[in-house]
Structure 1
Amino acid sequence: MSTYPIHTIESAPTQSKAVLQQLQLTFGMIPNIAAKMASSPVLINGFIGLFEQAHASSLTEPQIQTLLLTNAVTNASVWPAAFHTALALNAGVHSADVDAIRAGRLPNDAELAALSLLARTLIEKRGRLAESDQKRFLDAGFSAEQVLEVIAVVAASAITNYTSSVTQPPLEAQFEEFAWHAPTP
């Protein structure tokens, strides 16, 4: 048995079952990352609360998926990079922009590039944004409130990125075509 089993609704701790049921309804499946998170009701319940709030922000779904994919690539997280590639494409992010993010570059779309750069900068600088980093984002047409919303998305994705690195969930068949591996330094 794995240290971090892939739980089903039936096998999960009682306090994790509602989140797994919610994810089943949302995605038509329970993503393997969530099935592994379910071992800790504290983790999965904290994650889902933050995830819901991030998706209730003023950011659009393509913007959120751009952030989540950028975060996965910046954190070299294999499972989330594949998952958010599929979701970004499904949300309407242009494939050239998705490919750019997966290659560690900025998207061609100026708005998505501003979001991607802010997220990457937050991660690389461990949250210590310079005034110029914030100004560049604001000059791209975003608000100060949206800087804080990006922080919420980065925090939510840190949970999946770190969980993926620790538990190494297998990639579901429907995401295999989007498999991604961090470039070797």
Structure 2
Amino acid sequence: MTSYEIQTVETASEAVREPLGALQGAFGFVPGAAGVMANSPVLLNSFFSAFAQFRGEGSFGPDERQVLLLSNAVANGSEWAVAFHSLEAVADGVEPVVVEAVRRGELPDDPRMAALSALTRTLIDQRGHLDDKDVEAFLEAGFTEEQLLEAITGIAISTMTNYAANVARPPLEDVLRPHAWTARYSSSV
């Protein structure tokens, strides 16, 4: 069992105060997983820089980003991250029925969101080895080859948070408790 301190803007080293402050400003609190990641400036700063690119320069819409991140959290069995991305998904316009399907380890009925979730889960489950049919299904849903590579970026970034939260098990913040989830669903497609 690990016992990482959940850092705050006040307790963190100078090397990570800026990203923690930005996260606090964006969410109104320092997310627990970020507070854990702040124990390693290399981890938090790498995450923060890459996520800024993924969010700011990426081509996925906010709802698509959240479906990708939530699918990743479910596949990695990250209870904290599933709760966090469930909250964020609804805030970013993902239909609640889509959120619930992904949380159950199922593909949503929405064909585009289903293709994105399936690709995410397949990339994780197959460690990046896709069949032609996996790529075709993603492209037929209206995504591009560039977005397939961009999805890898999102998965990598999200995996940093998922693994940190799995290792340290930060408690859910009050705002996340209504979205609590336990890792009981299969991540297989």
Task: Please give the range of the TM-score, normalised by the shorter of the 2 chains.
Answer: over 0.9
1:21 and 2:21 equivalent? yes
Matched AA of 2:27: F
* Secondary structure in structure 2 of the residue aligned to 1:42: helix
* Secondary structure in structure 2 of the residue aligned to 1:12: coil
TM-score (norm 2): 0.94
Matched AA of 1:76: G
1:151 and 2:152 equivalent? yes
Matched AA of 1:152: T
Cα deviation 1:9-51 (Å, max 9, x = unaligned)? 1211110111101111111111111111111000000001111
Instruction: Map residues 1-185 of structure 1 onto 2, 5 A cutoff.
Output: 3-56=3-56, 57-183=58-184
Q: Residues 184 and 93 from structure 1, CA distance in 2 versus in 1: closer, same or farther, beyond 3 angstroms?
A: closer
* Secondary structure in structure 2 of the residue aligned to 1:59: coil
Matched residues, number: 184
Q: How far did residue 3 of structure 1 move? A: 2.9
Matched AA of 1:77: S
Matched AA of 1:79: W
Return the alpha-carbon distance in structure 2 between the equivalents of residues 90 and 166 of structure 1.
27
Return the alpha-carbon distance in structure 1 between the equivalents of residues 108 and 87 of structure 2.
16
Task: Tell me the percent identity.
Answer: 45
Aligned CA RMSD, in angstroms, stands at 1.2
Return the alpha-carbon distance in structure 2 between the equivalents of residues 13 and 129 of structure 1.
41
Q: Residues 182 and 105 from structure 1, CA distance in 2 versus in 1: closer, same or farther, beyond 3 angstroms?
A: same
Return the alpha-carbon distance in structure 2 between the equivalents of residues 184 and 112 of structure 1.
19
Return the alpha-carbon distance in structure 2 between the equivalents of residues 91 and 108 of structure 1.
18
Return the alpha-carbon distance in structure 1 between the equivalents of residues 110 and 97 of structure 2.
9
* Secondary structure in structure 2 of the residue aligned to 1:33: helix
5+ long unaligned stretches in structure 1: none
Return the alpha-carbon distance in structure 2 between the equivalents of residues 77 and 3 of structure 1.
17
| Regions of 4+ moved over 3 Å | none
Return the alpha-carbon distance in structure 2 between the equivalents of residues 174 and 141 of structure 1.
34
Cα deviation 1:104-137 (Å, max 9, x = unaligned)? 0011111111100000000000111112211111
5+ long unaligned stretches in structure 2: none
TM-score (norm 1): 0.96
Q: How far did residue 184 of structure 1 move? A: 6.9
Cα deviation 1:45-76 (Å, max 9, x = unaligned)? 00011111111201000000001110011111
